[in-house]
Chain A
Amino acid sequence: MSSIANSTLPPGPVELLARRAQAAARRNGTTIVVGLALAALVVPPIFTVVYSSFVSGSDVWHGTRTVSHYRHVFGQGTSLEAIKNTFIFAAGSALLAVAIASIVAFFVERTNAPLRRFVYFTVIVALGVPILVETMGWVLLLGPNNGLINSWIRDIFGFNAAQINIYSMFWMVFIQATITFPAVFLLVAPAFRLADPSLEQAAAVSGASQVRILRTVTFPLVRPSLVAALLLSFIVGIESFEVPALLGTPSHIKVLSTAIYFEISNAVEPDFGAAAVYATLLMVLTIVGLWAYQRATARAHRFVTVTGKGFRPQTIQLGKYRWLTALITVLVPLLILAPILILFWASFLQYYAPPSRGELKFMSLSNYHAVLHAPGFTDALKNTFILGAGAAVLVMGLGLVAAWGVLRRPSSLSRGVDYLGSLPLVVPGVVLSLAVVRVFINFPIGIYDTTWIILLALVIHYLPWGLRFNHAGLITQHRELEEAADVSGANRLAVFLRIVVPLMRPTLVAGGLFVFMATLRQLALVIFLAGPNLNVVSSWIWAIWNNANLAQASTAAMIVTVPVLIVAAIFYKVTGAGESATFGGR
């Protein structure tokens, strides 16, 4: 409280200015601090990776500026090939995933097809399985020699029958689509569920047939959601690393994300310049995709299909064809679960063989014993959980403070913080991994090759999710709840700790679980950061798979998948499956 005394002397202009600045700083202090923290996290990696694509030499800051990397990369012709492949891969998998997802969503949400709940169950399970694990499972199913399906084809059609070649663009697209499918399904299912049935009833009263209603009313109503899902899966496809790395490599199908990887990892001498060029191209593609997504979803608001009125969508009775649709509701979950089931099988065999009754007698837990005693595995496991928990706490904490600034102290400053925190969305995992390496390899603070550098990458990568989760949660809290505490005499810290955080607890828990789960699945992000002495489970499996140790790879995959599934179950319990659609992603 100010004294009366200082009200007698009017302050000079300089002092007045200083006081104004001080007042502004006090009001926006939280935002400024968070803004600086976010800038320190986000800007250096992105800037470094783009800048280093224009610099020759191994040291980013002391090389000469040049466009030779671009000339070199584009001169090879393979880079145009990589861009083309990336596009085909991303677009193909997006189209396929959305096509499957909308058909399944229609039958699950709008008809009385059997086993509808089973679809939901498998979709949720699939969201918890690391992509690397799923892809490995597909190799066991469709691989050229031991692949289960191929061996069936041989058994049925004879030894010379055409085999499925999983190492081809077609099957890469197919497998990426099965991996993108669960998130897409959760994105489009609500659109089918929430469409106002009175619009369809109006068409029916006008004399339209069932098929005609579907074509002219139902589908146009969900089209905005489908477009949004399409663009989102396109971005997921662009960024995908695991599928192209595992399936594209044997047949030399390069996409941008694997191009970056091979410039660094398999080369005799890492070519950071070329990798940076690919990384920049990848970011440009992602920005285009995100821009289109934002435009599409902004326009989608005009199609207000959710009126807030309580209604139940009309369920279409399928009649005597009902059992036919079971094909869809069984086949699709099977497609999702099959790779996991075959890995589960493989984890019990010391020498892999396709499932058969004859192999049952060789099953044992010896792989589990071996993996748990394998060098580095328990450390990797420990790292994975500590890093996941740490990243979850930091991301949600930073996200809460930043979202608070954006919503409660709106200004151009806090809007800037919002953009800053969302910036990592345009940085695919592989690129961020590269970028963080580039920043810290010559950095005076020795965090290179420590768990700290992985934590840093995880926090940067999941910041946008932290922001969005908290933004969505905080926007539902009436600001008067905080103002009441202000007036009650609580200072800002007390308001934060005693009002904001407790009220936001459900959001913080849900968001934290989501981030934790997502980190367990990450491979792309840690690919350049992990090393022989520093592993997380995914990078450990990656290394052991590349050494062709199938038995231990599949066992380790099972060991990490089970806890992820448990966390996934808690997550959906906490949030309700519908909400997670917004954050489906990968």
Chain B
Amino acid sequence: MLRVTDLEKRFATRDSDDVKALDGVSFEVPEGSLFTLLGASGSGKTTTLRSVAGLERPESGSIEIDDVVVFDGARAHFVPPNKRDLGMVFQSYAIWPHMTVFENVAFPLKVKRKGRAEIRESVERTLTLMNMEHLAKRPATLLSGGQQQRLALARAIVGSPRLLLLDEPLSNLDAKLRERMRFELKRLQVETGLTTIYVTHDQMEALALSDEIALMHDGRIVQQATPAEIYHSPATAYVADFIGSTNLLQGTLVDAKEAGACTVSFGASVVHGVLAGSANAGDAVALAVRPEAIALEPDRNGAAELEPGTLRGVVRSSVFLGESTDFLVAAADVEVRARISGTSPGFAIGDGVRVTLPRTGLVFPRESTEDRPAAPAAEEPTTDPIAEAVL
């Protein structure tokens, strides 16, 4: 349905070097699926979407929609956005304030010179689909945030476009509404069967909505996979760090066996894991462990020998989250965040605990993670800004 091949785009900056906004982006989206471009700001996700829309013009590469080439850098071929047959929801919604709700939705049909009756029928059907048929005559300026968002969606889908493009459509809504609209979007996408490209920086949104996710970083796609895959087997430490509030524990590789099974040491403790990538014994590695996969128990017998896969630590702080509680534990020479579900937390700050890590944690070679965030983030590997925001 959509085939994007090797897109490259530079942005001129005031200092010497141009910044590569897109650095060889390629992906394919099958008919009827919801494909998400996920990434932090500046990762190139919005530039990619705008290139598909024809609002940006890459330097090279090609874009095909429905087997029709809409952009080909090598042949200097470029189809302007108004001839690409798209629907798009913008981050600002871009509702035209000088029109009513009806007129906003009717615009794409009007410029395509559809008949009056057909326009009325399509607009009414779409407004009904969005549960806003009663607002048709209202001036677009008199809508609430959620209604504006639905209007923007209605306008994008009214002409049954070949491709629906959504640029952070939920980012301007408050948390409650955002969650509700997430379901609404999913329902709508399934009902209409529109092939959809979704851009977001919110990993929860991406996981909840997508058939497939492409995680972008520094103008490149770092990993493209289904939500479950990207969550459970991140390709790199960056992906692991970005998706979910993962612990990335810096240790040393002790040995690696066949099928990736390996052991990592943190000071005196040794932990099992699965090696992703190649590393030799003695290399610095990072063990990725989800907070919810970690078990804590009171350290009653301080003198006893530690079993493999277990660390000894002290609770530094705790955050009560309702259905679970997060504990920050200083163990060996790393800090571990553990999420314990249930209502009775049971640990106080300063308590000695035994931290049990799962045997299935992924181990990434530290040096080969070239797409890890730059210097400042690397110094504090366990602080993930996105995860912080979610917490």
A: which residues have CB within 8 A of B? 1-4, 7, 10-11, 16, 19-20, 23, 26-27, 478, 480-481, 483-491, 494, 498-499, 502-503, 505
Contacts and interface: CB of A to CB of B under 8 A. Distances in A.
Contacts, number: 97
Contact of B82 (A3, A16, A489, A498): A489
Contact of B55 (A4, A481, A487): A487
Interface string B15-57: 0000000000000000000000000000000000000011101
Contact of B92 (A10, A19, A27, A480): A480
Nearest to A482: B94
Contacts of B96: 481, 484-485, 499, 503
A489 B87 CA distance: 9
Interface stretch (B64-72, B287-295, B319-327): B64-72
B168 to A, nearest CB: 12
A481 B91 CA distance: 11
Given A1-B68, A1-B83, A491-B82, A16 B94 contact: no
Which interface residue of B77, B94, B97 has the most chain A CB atoms within 10 A? B94
Which interface residue of A3, A10, A16, A486 has the most chain B CB atoms within 10 A? A486
Contacts of A480: 90-92, 94
Interface in B78-120: 78-88, 90-92, 94, 96-98, 107-108, 111-112
B134 to A, nearest CB: 23
A4 B68 contact: yes
A11 B80 CA distance: 20
A28 to B, nearest CB: 12
B158 to A, nearest CB: 9
B94 A481 contact: yes
B98 A503 contact: yes
Interface in B200-238: none
B155 interface: yes
Interface in B145-190: 152, 155, 159, 165
Contacts of A2: 68-70, 77, 79
Contact of A16 (B75, B80, B85, B98): B75
Contacts of B90: 480, 483-484
B389 interface: no
B375 interface: no
State the majority secondary structure of interface residues on A.
helix
A488 B94 contact: no
Contacts of B155: 484, 488
Contacts of A486: 54-55, 80-82
Contacts of B108: 488-489
Contacts of A1: 68, 70, 79, 83
Nearest to B69: A7
A4 B75 CA distance: 13
A227 B324 CA distance: 63
A79 B159 CA distance: 71
B74 interface: yes
A541 B55 CA distance: 55
A114 B267 CA distance: 81
The list of the 5 closest CB pairs from A to B, nearest first, reads A488-B108, A484-B94, A19-B76, A480-B94, A490-B111
A538 to B, nearest CB: 38
A490 B155 CA distance: 13
B74 A10 contact: yes
Given A1-B83, A4-B67, A484-B88, 17 more contacts: A2-B68, A2-B70, A2-B77, A19-B76, A26-B80, A478-B94, A480-B92, A481-B96, A484-B90, A484-B94, A485-B107, A487-B53, A487-B81, A489-B108, A491-B82, A499-B96, A503-B97
21 contacts: A4-B68, A11-B76, A16-B76, A478-B92, A480-B91, A480-B92, A481-B96, A484-B152, A484-B155, A485-B111, A486-B54, A487-B82, A487-B87, A488-B82, A488-B87, A488-B159, A489-B111, A489-B112, A491-B111, A494-B111, A498-B111
A423 B107 CA distance: 39
A2 B98 CA distance: 34
A502 B74 CA distance: 39
Nearest to B75: A11
A488 B111 contact: yes
A475 to B, nearest CB: 15
Contact of B72 (A7, A26, A505): A7
A499 B55 CA distance: 17
Nearest to A499: B96
A483 B84 CA distance: 13
A275 B83 CA distance: 56
Which interface residue of B57, B67, B78 has the most chain A CB atoms within 10 A? B78
A30 to B, nearest CB: 13
A406 to B, nearest CB: 17
A489 B85 contact: yes
Contacts of A488: 82, 87, 107-108, 111, 155, 159
A410 to B, nearest CB: 11
Nearest to A20: B76
A442 B75 CA distance: 50
Contacts of B94: 478, 480-481, 483-484
Which interface residue of A16, A489, A498 has the most chain B CB atoms within 10 A? A489
Interface string B109-153: 001100000000000000000000000000000000000000010
B65 to A, nearest CB: 9
Contacts of A502: 98
A491 B92 CA distance: 22
B68 A483 contact: no
A489 B112 CA distance: 7
A258 to B, nearest CB: 47
Contacts of B107: 485, 488, 490, 498
A475 B74 CA distance: 35
Which interface residue of A20, A23, A483, A491 has the most chain B CB atoms within 10 A? A483
